[in-house]
Chains A and B, each alone.
Chain A
Amino acid sequence: MSATMSQKARILAVAAVLLALAIIVPLSSSFVVLLATRALVFAILAMSVDILLGFAGLASLGQAAYLSVGAYLTAILAAKYQFGLGWDFWLVVLFAVLLGAATAAFFGLFAVRATGVYFLMITLALGQCVWGLAYRWNSLTNGDNGINLTSRPNFGLDLANERTFFFLVFAFFSVTLLMLYVLVRSPFGRSLEGIRERELRMQILGYNTWLHKYIAFVIAGAVGGLSGVLWAHTNGLVSPDTVVLTTSVDALLMVVLGGAGTLVGGAIGSAIVFGLREYLSTLVPWWQYVLGGVYVLTILYMPMGLMGLPARIRQWRGARSRSANGQSLMPAQS
């Protein structure tokens, strides 16, 4: 396939979908607006996972940590100091991004050396450290009860309005997507992919692979911090439930579901998960079977996720026409 052509077509398709979202969602019921807002916030978190998984080849099971430092920062500043409820909201965004990056910069010192399954487990352990603090450090985090945010920021734009707030989240999502896209298309992103494919070769070529992965880890942390601010204001409550292992697991699965290494895949995964969880759950009690089943089937039969579906179909067609000529049914191993 012609890579450049399909690249342009893909960008156009993503832009068209975003435009459609921006038009359709605000006209829908407030239930849909809330659903889309939540899905977009998690899509930002999922994209931060994808930077690591899809481009650096590192599966993180602790991304909820960065979401929660951003969320707790927002909640603590708002509840204790009434800070971040006007124009200073933008300062909170900046602080949360910096705090997410700083946390990741610290955690990365431990985690980035590890590879494969060990990276998975060390990020899990780091995530649990943050959870432990959120759960037990009562004087700061209010423990199990969490912190309530009574009002959303109002700086000319009143974010208490669900539709206004949706647009804000939508804008953050679009900007993040664009910036991360530029990042992964840059020489830095290419080197990351090289490290994912064959780290040793990149080292021999003179790349400092640790530093590349470390920078990717910090960027992912910064993006996670951003998603935390938005999640705090979306949810109105920040509690240890935000930091639990399942949040990190969900973010990882969203990326795998949509397709790792595509950025928008995480957004698709997020939309599916929230759609199933919050829409299907109002219709049928067994929605979680559908969610679990979708996960299992995706992992078994679509290793490239939903974004890999077109390629998969082409491959399948090719294999069928080949098998008609008496050749192997097995798709070629890349």
Chain B
Amino acid sequence: MQFWLIQAFNGISYGALLFLLGSGLSLIFGVMRIVNLSHGSYFLWGGYIALSVIWATGSWGLSLPLAALAVALIGLVMERVFLRPLGFDPLRQVLLTVGFAYLFQQGALDIWGGNNMEINPPSALTHSVVLGGMYFPLYRLFMITTALAIGLTIWLGMEKTRVGAMVRATVDDAQMARGVGIDTNRVSMLIFALGALLAAVGGVIGGAFLGVYPGLDFEVLPLAFAVVIIGGMGSLGGAAIGAMLVGLADNFGKALFPELAYFTLYAPMVLILAIKPTGLFGRE
């Protein structure tokens, strides 16, 4: 019983991290139909920039927003300057984002070097709480609450605000949205920046958990895709459920069938893609 509870808790907290990583990718795909292969780089750069801020100021609390905003800016420039001129050409857009992923990788190696690093969270978050005789690390609880708070904020923003309505209209039918006077270019820019921001937040929070090291970008990228594909592209709720499923599948897979651990993660992704390409909760 304890085993299942602990594993489930670990899986859910890992899923919270994956939600931050995957939701941005899902939003970007939903609005712009861009498969962004530099999404892992945003995650990695978020972690690295946070490290730099921590070295400079000593403040972990400051590093989170600064890194997130810096990466959002990078995403914004990338969309504005490089992706938009390509127009609607999925393959070239994908390939372009791969090219950028390589550039980001080399950039990170030059700036921050090749060592494995870790982001140390403030000591208040390193304790554990005891509930019903079991220890729950506070940091994992923090991951879950952060993801919940961010997810709820975005969901409310999408459902209740004017901008949110514009985004939903663009996801449903970009041409019609343009027809009724929505500036879909601005929506795209906003969403791309938001997606990059979310990935960077994931990178900072995950930095205490996964570490920050060269190659992390291409390691988390397939996971982000698993989240998005299982949940359905362009759907925030789908991303949340996809992230939970991937988090749990990863933890239980590693604990129960170590030899098949990653297979149990990606095989369902293949099946879902084959049976319902839009994902469990995606729309046509």
Give the B-binding residues of A (Cβ under 8 A): 59, 109-111, 113-114, 116-118, 120-122, 124-126, 128-129, 131-133, 135-139, 244-246, 249, 252-253, 256, 285-286, 288-289, 291-293, 295-296, 299-300, 303
Task: Apart from A128-B265, A136-B261, list 18 A-B contacts with CB within 8 A.
Answer: A110-B273, A110-B274, A116-B91, A122-B273, A125-B222, A128-B269, A131-B262, A288-B106, A289-B107, A292-B100, A292-B103, A293-B103, A295-B102, A296-B103, A299-B95, A299-B96, A300-B82, A300-B85
CB distance from B6 to the nearest CB of A (A): 21
* CB of B258 closer than 8 Å to a CB of A: yes
Q: Is B91 within 8 A of A59, CB to CB?
A: yes
A136 to B102, CA, bound (A): 27
**Which of A111, A116, A244, A288 touches B102 (beta carbons < 8 Å)?**
A288
Contact indicator A110/B270 (Cβ below 8 Å):
yes
Residues of B with C-beta under 8 A to A249: 37, 98
**Closest chain A CB from B194 CB (angstroms):** 21
Chain B contact patch, size range: 35 or more
In contact, A295 and B98 (Cβ under 8 angstroms): yes
Judging by beta carbons under 8 Å apart, are B98 and A253 in contact?
yes
A23 CA / B167 CA spacing, docked (Å): 60
Whether A300 contacts B90 by the Cβ 8 Å rule is no
> Which residues of B are found within 8 Å of A131, using beta-carbon distances?
262
Cα distance, A59 to B91, chains bound together (Å): 8
A125-B102 in contact (CB<8A):
no
| In contact, A245 and B222 (Cβ under 8 angstroms) | yes
Query: Which residue in A136, A245, A292 is a CB contact (below 8 Å) of B260?
Result: A136
Residue of chain B at shortest CB distance from A137: B259
The CA of A254 and the CA of B210, in the complex, are separated in Å by: 31
Q: Is the CB of B218 within 8 A of A129?
A: no
- Give the distance to chain A from B109, nearest Cβ to Cβ, in Å: 8
Please give, as numbers and ranges, the residues of chain A lying within 8 Å of B82 by CB-CB distance: 296, 300
With A125-B229, A249-B98 known as contacts, the answer to whether A114 contacts B258 (CB < 8 A) is no
- Are A132 and B265 neighbours in the complex by a CB distance under 8 Å? yes
Name the prevailing secondary structure of the A interface residues: helix
Separation of A109 and B273 alpha carbons in the complex (Å) = 12
B98: A residues at CB distance < 8 A = 249, 252-253, 295
**Is B267 on the interface with A (CB-CB < 8 A)?**
yes
Asked if B280 is at the interface of the complex by the 8 Å CB criterion, the answer is no
CB of B90 within 8 A of CB of A126, answer no
| A125-B269 contact, Cβ under 8 Å, with A120-B35, A256-B95, A296-B96 | yes
B270 / chain A contacts, CB cutoff of 8 Å: 110, 122, 125-126, 129
B67 part of interface (Cβ distance < 8 Å): no
Instruction: Report which of B96, B109, B222, B261 forms a contact with A124, defined as CB distance below 8 A.
Output: B222
**Contact, CB under 8 Å: A117 / B35:** yes
A111, A125, A252, A289 — which one has the most chain B CB atoms within 10 A of its CB?
A: A125
* Contact A289 to B265, CB < 8 A, known contacts A136-B259, A245-B218, A296-B96: no
Q: Which residues of A contact B107 (CB under 8 A)?
A: 289
A113 to B: closest C-beta gap in Å: 7
Determine the chain A residues whose CB is within 8 A of the CB of B274 once the complex forms: 109-111, 113-114, 122
Report Cα–Cα, A109/B96, bound state, in Å: 29
Q: How far is the CB of A74 from chain B (nearest CB, A)?
A: 22
Chain A's nearest CB lies how many Å from the CB of B274? 4
**CB of B184, distance to nearest CB on chain A (Å):** 19
- Residues of chain A within 8 A (CB-CB) of B105 are 288, 292
Q: A132 and B273: CB pair below 8 A? A: no
Q: Hey, which chain B residues are within 8 Å of A110, CB to CB?
A: 270-271, 273-274
In this complex, the member of A114, A245, A253 whose beta carbon has the largest number of chain B beta carbons within 10 angstroms is: A245
Q: How far is the CA of A217 from the CA of B259 in the complex (A)?
A: 28
A128 touches B100 (CB 8 A): no
The CB with the most chain B CB atoms within 10 A, among A113, A249, A285, is that of A249
Inter-chain CA distance A117–B234, complex, in Å, is 14
Q: List 18 A-B contacts (CB under 8 A).
A: A59-B91, A110-B271, A110-B273, A113-B274, A114-B277, A116-B90, A116-B91, A125-B229, A125-B266, A132-B260, A132-B265, A133-B262, A252-B98, A288-B102, A289-B106, A296-B103, A299-B99, A300-B86
Q: Is the Cβ of B259 less than 8 Å from the Cβ of A138?
A: yes
Decide if B16 is an interface residue (CB 8 Å cutoff): no
Q: Is B213 located at the chain interface by the 8 A CB criterion?
A: no
Q: In the docked arrangement, what's the CA distance between A175 and B231, Å?
A: 44
B90, B110, B229, B266, most chain A CB atoms within 10 A: B266
Contact with A along B201-227 (1 / 0, CB 8 A): 000000000000000001001100110
**The residue from B90, B261, B271 contacting A132, defined by CB atoms under 8 A apart:** B261
Min CB gap B45→A, angstroms: 15
CA gap between A197 and B42 in the complex, in Å: 35
A293-B98 Cα distance, complex, nearest whole Å: 11
Restricting to B94-122, which residues have a CB under 8 Å from any CB of A? 94-96, 98-100, 102-103, 105-107, 109-110
| Nearest-neighbor residue (CB-CB) of B103 within chain A | A292
Residues on A with C-beta less than 8 A from B267 are 129
Q: Are A133's CB and B263's CB within 8 A?
A: yes
Closest to A295 in B: B99
Q: Smallest distance from the beta carbon of B216 to chain A beta carbons, Å?
A: 13
